[in-house]
Amino acid sequence: MKQYIGGFLELELFPQPGPGYHAAALGLHNARACVSHVIAQTAMRRAWVPYYTCNALLEPFEVDGVPYQFYALDAQLELFSLPVLAEGEYLVYVNYFGLKNAYVRQLLAAYGGQLIVDDTQAYFAQGYGAGWSFNSARKSFGVPDGGYLYGPADILGTDSSYPLNTTYNATYLIDRLRGAQQKSYAGFIAYEQTLGSAPLRISEFSAALLSQVDYAAARAARRANYAYYHARLGHLNTLAVPADLMALPADTVPFCYPLLATGGEDIDRQEFFKKNLFIPTLWPDVLTRQFTAFDWEHHLTKALLPLPLDHRYGPTDLERVVQVVLELLGEEDL
Ligand SMILES: Cc1ncc(COP(=O)(O)O)c(C=O)c1O
């Protein structure tokens, strides 16, 4: 029953009927909430987490008092060595740049229900059967919240005890839509700082918007844009990235084009910014941790350029990025 009847109309979002893209998952408000739910559902005693990640991923373990241990990655962004997990121990692996779905399946064979896949860069992946996995909707679409959690059916649990998220803010999204870029960015940063790991159910606002996405088109755009970057810049890339996405599982959808070029470390990201190109550092937190090893992870953080390729962009936009990258690297256009 409606609480208020009559008067002016609220913002209408026209949610699409049907099960939705992540119908088999629990819909929570962000990735951290998903991790917190996994901790609650499993009697987790310890977690292994990659050093190459942001502190946000560590937050639920810290908040919920679960000790964690860092592990190192090799040149393929895969574990140097696979730890033997005792009962109650879990391995968290980040599906880097949305490109590691095939490797995730190898880890699944090794760890089954003790694997937790961080698909925050792989929104299109739809769970891995016996393992746990979660994503973060606002990293891939213009919504203020959302994180879908997959897990073993018998212990996935429900979201019924969590309150609905009504504390989201969408003003910064509308500001960017209006072209008020600086105001929008300030709003985005301020809003991000309000997000925590205590689970809430995904807002009706984001759920409705996500029900309207043309996922096939968004996936095709990302894959085509990846191919464009690879054709233009692949010869400069020292990271072992796939040359042909078509040869990989269909749920492999790139988050960005990860360019690790010689000299990338010396590029001042402000130079991109001055040209209205936003190329973030993934992840600045890596450089602030007080560990002496993990040289590869430090190098990745400083040098890797995650070039944007989402559904908003096509060849003209990408070529603009390519030209600036070539200029800043001091490379000739072949
Ligand atoms: C790899 C990774 N995992 C998890 C998170 C946390 O996501 P959320 O902010 O949706 O909780 C982030 C956010 O930056 C991330 O980059």
Q: What's residue 291's pLDDT?
A: 81
Q: CA-to-CA distance for 304 and 90, rounded, in angstroms? A: 28
Indicate if ligand 1 lies below 6 Å from the C-beta of 120.
Answer: yes
155 exposure class (CB count in 10 Å sphere: 0-12, 13-18, 19+) = exposed
Q: CA-to-CA distance for 25 and 32, rounded, in angstroms? A: 15
With a cut of 90, say whether residue 35 has pLDDT above it.
yes
Q: Is 82 left (phi over 0), alpha (psi -120 to 50) or beta?
A: beta
**Backbone phi and psi for residue 134, each to the nearest 5 degrees, phi listed first:** -150, 160
With a cut of 90, say whether residue 253 has pLDDT above it.
yes
Q: Report which DSSP code applies to 141.
A: S
What tens digit of pLDDT does each residue of 231-249 get? 999 999 999 999 999 888 8
Share of the chain above pLDDT 90, in %: 95
> Is there a cis peptide before residue 283, judged by omega within 30 degrees of 0?
yes
With a cut of 90, say whether residue 109 has pLDDT above it.
yes
Q: What's residue 334's pLDDT?
A: 78
Distance 298 CA to ligand 1 centre (A): 19
What tens digit of pLDDT does each residue of 38-69 get? 999 999 999 999 999 999 999 999 999 999 99
Distance 183 CA to ligand 1 centre (A): 23
What tens digit of pLDDT does each residue of 59-106 get? 999 999 999 999 999 999 999 999 999 999 999 999 999 999 999 999
E strand intervals along 177-325: 256-259, 305-308
With a cut of 90, say whether residue 270 has pLDDT above it.
yes
Q: What angle do CA 328, 333, 334 make, to 5 degrees?
A: 145
Indicate if ligand 1 lies below 6 Å from the C-beta of 31.
Answer: yes
Counting ligand 1 atoms within 8 A of each CB, the residue from 59, 97, 120, 285 with the most, and so the one to mutate, is 120
Nearest CA owner, ligand 1 atom 8: 31
Q: Relative to the CA of 195, which ligand 1 atom is closest?
A: 9
Distance 2 CA to ligand 1 centre (A): 35
Indicate if ligand 1 lies below 6 Å from the C-beta of 94.
Answer: yes
Return the closest-CA partner of residue 57 out of 98, 93, 23, 24. 93
Distance 235 CA to ligand 1 centre (A): 30
Nearest CA owner, ligand 1 atom 7: 31
With a cut of 90, say whether residue 251 has pLDDT above it.
no
With a cut of 90, say whether residue 168 has pLDDT above it.
yes
Counting ligand 1 atoms within 8 A of each CB, the residue from 99, 123, 135, 139 with the most, and so the one to mutate, is 139
Q: What's residue 290's pLDDT?
A: 84
Number of C-beta neighbours around residue 302 at 10 A? 15
With a cut of 90, say whether residue 319 has pLDDT above it.
yes
List beta partners, residue 90. 47
Share of the chain above pLDDT 70, in %: 100
Q: CA-to-CA distance for 186 and 169, rounded, in angstroms? A: 13
Indicate if ligand 1 lies below 6 Å from the C-beta of 57.
Answer: yes
With a cut of 90, say whether residue 2 has pLDDT above it.
no
- Which amino acid, one-letter code, is at 260? L
Mean pLDDT score across all residues of the chain: 96
* Helix 31-41 × helix 55-63 angle, to 10°: 40
Q: What's residue 247's pLDDT?
A: 87
Nearest CA owner, ligand 1 atom 13: 56
Distance 97 CA to ligand 1 centre (A): 13
Q: What's residue 249's pLDDT?
A: 83
